[in-house]
């Protein structure tokens, strides 16, 4: 017998390099960014890191545009990775948000200070921290962490395997845990928020892993596509249902849905303001897109078994985000509860399971993400001052925003646009987004949830307009000033405001593009 006849011939797997190109560009830029930190002199790192990050994201946007034209005709499904219009469109939205976020992160005021600690490892209030500030030392690894986190987000909605989903979740989350702890001021609050985020995030990951284990036990596979075929006929269907709920818990934590929202206000308040904006916008887009795939592929066929739990989550999310937000006196905590309420609105569109659910959810997330980056970019520019004119940290107390319309009318008008969009007022993208998800809710038979959503939307408009009244119809606060900066934040704010208005006045082209968004079903 010929020995070669019994030898198994190993074949190299086919790797879809073109499909992975946008992700490879982002991760490649992140790796180069690590090398910049290692080899470029300290004084030259910041401009190099900024240029590298912008080039990386713009190149990835070009790659996504190229892939979208291909995917509309030839979507691709592999055991670990799916490239369909949902994946590529979500990646494009994430890159747009990432581009705006990098501009806000890079900005520094006329005093030469940024939002980040000179040396995050310095103990708050220590001599080492004072020395780092005196020398004007500024770490730049934030750009590296953003690129790694953004790369994980881009994998998240494409995952066709629970293993890939978990790895993408951790690659997305671990840099965020670090970045939350790097605020230049109120360091202890920043580190406390990071610790809470890390601990609760670990619990959420554990829920996702346990759910994946139960689903694997019920179906014998880790592939979402295969699970969708096997689970409805599985003799261990009960274990599969519990597994679905546990995996969903891990994703609901990331979008800040109640009752998994406890981390949101503390982390939003403690994190550096540019990171709060990036996290509030990009994480929601990635997690909701992954939830769209998971829900439409695996959970929707089991909807009757899980509907009481899902409806309870939507109701609780809407009520918590709406009514707890009414009593907030800090603008970052106010936007934290606003984000919880917005998660409830998006969940209505997702759970409706109509032919346009995916497109409506993505449009809503695009508008919300861009407006959120702009709003937090504006917050980073409003600072506290004393009677001698010395400038301190962000003026996040709502009372400090009194009379901003007289001190900085352009910035106040931009914030007005973002608030109107959050409230769902016509001629803004937020109105179109809410109209789409509520229309899907009615079509999907969730009329009473839509009514509740409309009522909550009206109530949330109250705390948005409370800020509008403070800015334009109240005497200016003497302890507040809008600082001059290098201009990056102003560019991001202006672009975000323009996009928010354009998506409200001319939503047609974007809606036409999103109408092609479909989810590959098994």
pLDDT value, residue 302: 75
pLDDT value, residue 1: 46
pLDDT value, residue 185: 82
pLDDT value, residue 237: 86
**In this structure, what DSSP letter does residue 473 have?**
S
pTM greater than 0.85 (yes/no): yes
Beta-ladder partners of 76: 83
pLDDT value, residue 8: 54
Q: Return the H-helix or E-strand segment holding 41.
A: none
Chain centroid to Cα 126, Å, comes to 33
Q: Return the H-helix or E-strand segment holding 394.
A: strand 391-394
pLDDT value, residue 299: 83
Q: Which residues contact 361 (CB under 8 A, 6 or more apart)?
A: 288, 289, 292, 346, 349, 350, 437
**In this structure, what DSSP letter does residue 158 have?**
G
List, as own/partner pairs, every contact residues 442-451 make where C-beta atoms lie below 8 angstroms and the sequence separation is at least 24, other chains included. Answer: 443/352, 443/354, 444/351, 444/352, 444/353, 444/354, 444/357, 445/352, 446/348, 446/351, 446/352, 449/311, 449/314, 449/315, 449/348, 450/348
Q: Distance from first CA to last CA of the chain, Å, rounded?
A: 44
Rounded to 5 degrees, φ, ψ at 83 are: -115, 100
Please tell me the distance from the alpha carbon of residue 244 to that of residue 295, in angstroms, as a whole number.
9
pLDDT value, residue 25: 96
pLDDT value, residue 282: 95
3-class SS at 135? coil
**In this structure, what DSSP letter does residue 282 have?**
I
pLDDT value, residue 272: 93
Q: Return the H-helix or E-strand segment holding 384.
A: strand 382-385
What is the greatest pairwise CA distance in the chain? 96
Please tell me the distance from the alpha carbon of residue 397 to that of residue 382, in angstroms, as a whole number.
11
Q: Return the H-helix or E-strand segment holding 161.
A: none
Please tell me the distance from the alpha carbon of residue 236 to that of residue 230, in angstroms, as a whole number.
10
**In this structure, what DSSP letter does residue 183 have?**
B
Please tell me the distance from the alpha carbon of residue 87 to that of residue 469, in angstroms, as a whole number.
41
Please tell me the distance from the alpha carbon of residue 98 to that of residue 143, in angstroms, as a whole number.
11
CB 165 within 8 A of CB 295: no
3-class SS at 187? helix
Structure-token pair, residue 309: 């739990």
Please tell me the distance from the alpha carbon of residue 183 to that of residue 153, in angstroms, as a whole number.
23
Length of the chain, in residues = 522
Report CA torsion sign: 156, 159, 162, 166: negative
CB 316 within 8 A of CB 258: yes
| Whole-angstrom Cα Rg for the chain | 23
Beta-ladder partners of 161: 223
Residue whose tokens read 């709502």: 398
Q: Which residues contact 387 (CB under 8 A, 6 or more apart)?
A: 478
Please state the domain extents for the chain: 18-514
Determine how β-strand 391-394 pairs with β-strand 382-385: antiparallel
CB 67 within 8 A of CB 19: yes
- pLDDT of the chain along its 522 residues, tens only? 454 455 456 666 677 778 889 999 999 999 999 999 989 887 888 899 999 999 999 999 999 999 988 887 777 777 788 888 999 999 999 999 999 999 999 998 777 777 787 777 777 667 777 777 676 667 788 999 999 999 999 999 999 999 999 999 999 999 999 999 988 888 888 999 999 999 999 999 999 999 999 999 999 999 888 898 898 888 888 888 899 999 999 999 999 998 898 899 999 999 999 999 999 999 999 999 999 999 888 887 776 667 888 889 999 999 999 999 999 999 999 999 999 999 999 999 999 888 888 999 999 999 999 999 999 999 999 988 876 667 777 888 999 999 999 989 999 999 999 999 999 999 999 999 999 999 999 998 899 999 999 999 999 999 899 999 999 999 888 888 888 888 899 999 999 999 999 999 999 999 998 888 777 665
pLDDT value, residue 18: 81
CB 243 within 8 A of CB 59: no
Please tell me the distance from the alpha carbon of residue 128 to that of residue 346, in angstroms, as a whole number.
45
Query: CA angle 389-392-394, nearest 5°?
Result: 125
């Amino acid at each position: 017998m010929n020995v070669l006849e019994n030898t198994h011939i190993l074949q190299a797997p086919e790797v879809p390099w073109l499909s992975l190109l946008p992700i490879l560009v982002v991760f490649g830029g992140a790796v180069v960014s690590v090398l910049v930190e290692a080899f470029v002199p300290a004084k030259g790192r910041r401009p190099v890191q900024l240029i590298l990050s912008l080039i990386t994201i713009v190149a990835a946007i070009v790659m996504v545009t190229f892939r979208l034209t291909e995917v509309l005709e030839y979507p691709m499904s592999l055991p670990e990775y799916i490239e369909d219009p949902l994946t590529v469109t979500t990646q494009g939205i994430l890159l747009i948000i990432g581009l705006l976020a990098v501009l806000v992160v890079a900005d520094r005021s006329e005093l030469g200070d940024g939002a980040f600690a000179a040396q995050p490892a310095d103990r708050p209030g220590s001599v080492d921290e004072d020395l780092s500030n005196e020398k004007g030392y500024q770490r730049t690894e934030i750009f590296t962490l953003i690129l790694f986190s953004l790369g994980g987000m881009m994998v998240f909605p494409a995952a066709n395997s629970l293993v890939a989903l978990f790895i993408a979740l951790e690659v997305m989350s671990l840099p965020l845990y670090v970045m939350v702890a790097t605020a230049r001021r109120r360091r202890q609050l920043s580190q406390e928020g990071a610790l809470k985020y890390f601990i609760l995030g670990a619990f959420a990951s554990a829920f996702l892993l346990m759910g994946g284990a139960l689903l694997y036990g019920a179906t014998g596979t880790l592939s979402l596509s295969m699970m969708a075929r096997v689970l409805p006929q599985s003799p261990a269907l009960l274990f599969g249902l519990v597994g679905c709920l546990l995996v969903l818990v891990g994703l609901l934590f990331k979008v800040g849905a109640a009752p998994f929202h406890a981390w949101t206000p503390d982390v939003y308040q403690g994190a550096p303001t540019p990171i709060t904006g990036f996290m509030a916008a990009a994480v929601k887009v990635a997690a909701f897109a992954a939830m769209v795939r998971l829900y439409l592929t695996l959970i929707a066929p089991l909807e009757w078994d899980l509907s009481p739990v899902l409806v309870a989550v939507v109701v609780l999310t809407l009520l918590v985000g709406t009514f707890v937000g009414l009593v907030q006196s800090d603008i970052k905590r106010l936007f934290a509860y606003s984000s919880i309420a917005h998660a409830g609105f998006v969940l209505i569109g997702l759970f409706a399971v109509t032919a346009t659910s995916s497109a409506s959810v993505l449009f809503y997330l695009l508008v919300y993400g861009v407006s959120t980056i702009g709003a937090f970019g504006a917050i980073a520019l409003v600072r506290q001052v004393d009677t001698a004119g010395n400038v301190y940290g962000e003026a996040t107390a709502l009372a400090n925003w009194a009379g901003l319309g007289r001190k900085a009318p352009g910035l106040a008008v931009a914030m007005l646009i973002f608030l109107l969009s959050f409230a769902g007022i016509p001629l803004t993208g937020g109105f179109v987004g809410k109209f789409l998800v509520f229309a899907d809710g009615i079509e999907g038979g969730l009329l009473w949830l839509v009514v509740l959503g409309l009522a909550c939307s009206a109530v949330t408009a109250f705390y948005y307009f409370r800020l509008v009244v403070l800015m334009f119809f109240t005497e200016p606060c003497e302890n507040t000033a809008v600082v001059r900066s290098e201009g990056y934040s102003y560019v991001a704010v202006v672009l975000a405001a323009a996009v928010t208005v354009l998506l409200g006045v001319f939503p047609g082209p974007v809606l036409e593009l999103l109408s092609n968004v479909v989810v590959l079903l098994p």
